[in-house]
Amino acid sequence: MEQTFLNETTQLITHDLGANLQLVDQWELLRQQLTQFVAYLLQTDRARLYHYLYRIDVEEKRIKSAMAQDPNADMASLLANLIIERSLQTVKTRAKYRKWQEEQDADGSFFDAERW
């Protein structure tokens, strides 16, 4: 299950950010790839990075809080971690909903005419 989450998170980030990330078998490898991509955007196109952060719903207060906790931290690494956390949260929410929908479809109760 953990590998599934890792793969889906990688695919979601690749799609949402337009990054060319390779599927990997460890979270740290994903973090390294994403940190490099974020560092590139910080140097070349901050507006695009800010747009992506907004699009995937990384909260500004989370960014400020993370920066306040460790002001000497590498900004690209910090943002990569927040992007991974938010994307993983999205993947888990989708999986939970997908499971719930499958359960409802299996017993036929979701589209039961009497319920409506």
- Mean of pLDDT values over 53-69: 89
pLDDT in tens, 6-59: 999 999 999 988 888 998 999 999 999 999 999 999 999 999 999 999 999 999
Whether residue 100 has pLDDT greater than 90: no
Q: Is residue 95 packed enough to be buried (19+ CB in 10 Å), middle (13-18) or exposed (0-12)?
A: middle
Closest CA to 93 of 57, 59, 53: 57
Whether residue 109 has pLDDT greater than 80: no
CA distances from 34 to 43, 70, 116 (A): 14, 20, 46
Mean pLDDT of the chain: 86
> Hey, where are the domains in the chain?
2-14+25-97
Q: What percent of the chain has pLDDT over 90?
A: 55
pLDDT score of 44: 94
76 Cα distance to chain centroid: 15
Cβ neighbours around 9 below 10 Å, total: 24
Closest CA to 34 of 51, 47, 52: 52
Q: How many residues does the chain have?
A: 116
Whether residue 110 has pLDDT greater than 70: no
